[in-house]
Structure 1
């Protein structure tokens, strides 16, 4: 890892902390709405990232298992809920996508290496399902009568952040086994992974600050 990547990695953790801190500051705005769960999510993600960074100094645990079986599924299922059930108003779609994602662990357990940092099959499938929701959300926003006020729409910032990070890094984790063999490509894409993560959490913070309560 280069010095630049180390700086980005540190910055990513503290950007997540900033988003969690802002979610606490603005919690009173959303405590009567479903957006309060977005605040809980940001706090949980920062705590999980903190465990991933410093946890091994205090207790023994498997970092790959922690992220693959808890953190990443929590991320995907939360976004399926936020997009499908809340923004798009399609509760059944949320249940369907969540079950499909969870079922993807079955072939992953039996046919793929489960000692990887990221389970490529699960992450790829989870991202593809999320991509469907991202496209649906863009379609909804473009066709909204309130499109001129997009800057006050929380989902605009969240959707942009999710696009840059989850969709943008999809090839990186899908073909990680092959990309890591080419150090220059790996180095550039890993830097993008960190930068896009920083931007995503900054956009999440902006969504809480600028977004309307009823958006």
Structure 2
């Protein structure tokens, strides 16, 4: 990594920590709402990413830690938040989660290997998430409360997910190809890091400015 990328990479971890701390400050306001699980998620991700950066992996590789544990939790949590809660479609959540988990089968059969990120698995997970993001945008646009979008907690979350997960989808899908074109790879990798920082700042903002009570 370049010096700039190393700086932004460290900044993303601290942005995750900031989002976790800010969310904890709002614990009492949301403790009786499903948003409390978003707090747990942010704290968990910060601790998980901190372990990924500084922890030791004596029994399994770091790639296994991310691909089989940390990343699936992220995807399934967002499927739950979008489908089951925001869109009110719990059956859709279960269907999409099962489809995502089933994507590990072709990934193991045809795309597995010594990789930091399983491109097929990540791409499939992001495509599912992109479907939910579009559905959420449609819901927000057609809401009678659209003029007060800045008070909608999901507005900030959806924007953050769009910039990070959806915005970096081509980078992750073509990771092994772009590595042969380092100039393009470095540009997109820098965007990947910056968008991660912005996403967690938006997650923190969702608690500060989002006034959604349900």
C-alpha distance in 1 between matches for 2:6 and 2:60: 23
Matches within 5 A, 1:117-156: 117-156=116-155
Quote the Cα distance in structure 2 between the aligned partners of 1:111 and 1:178: 17
How do 1:9-28 residues align onto structure 2 when only pairs under 5 Å count? 9-28=9-28
CA positional deviation for 1:150 = 0.3
Deviation for aligned residue 1:42: 0.2
> How many angstroms apart in 1 are the aligned matches of 2:31 and 2:58?
34
Report the secondary structure of 2:55's partner residue: helix
Structure 1 runs of 4+ aligned residues shifted over 3 Å read 58-61
Provide the TM-score with structure 2 as the length reference: 0.98
C-alpha separation in 2, matches of 1:145 and 1:82:
21
Which whole-Å CA distance do the structure 1 matches of 2:144 and 2:90 have between them? 23
For residue 209 of structure 1, report the CA deviation from its aligned partner: 1.1
1:181-200 matches, cutoff 5 A:
181-200=180-199
Distance 1:86 1:133 in 2: 12
2:153 and 2:211 in contact (8 A); partners too? yes
2: CA distance, partners of 1:79 / 1:92: 14
Query: Equivalent residue for 1:179?
Result: 178
Per-residue Cα deviation, 1:7-40 (whole angstroms, up to 9, x for no partner):
0001000000001111111111110000000000
1:204 maps to 203
SS state at 1:118 partner: coil
* Pairing of 1:56-95 with structure 2 (within 5 A): 56=56, 61-95=60-94
Structure 1 residues 94-105: aligned runs within 5 Å = 94-105=93-104
- In structure 2, how many angstroms separate the alpha carbons of the residues matched to 1:213 and 1:191? 33
In the comparison of the two structures, how many residue pairs are matched?
214
Distance apart, 1:213 and its partner CA: 3.9
Residue 110 (structure 2) aligns with: 111
State yes or no: 1:37 paired with 2:32: no
Report the aligned-residue RMSD. Answer: 1.1
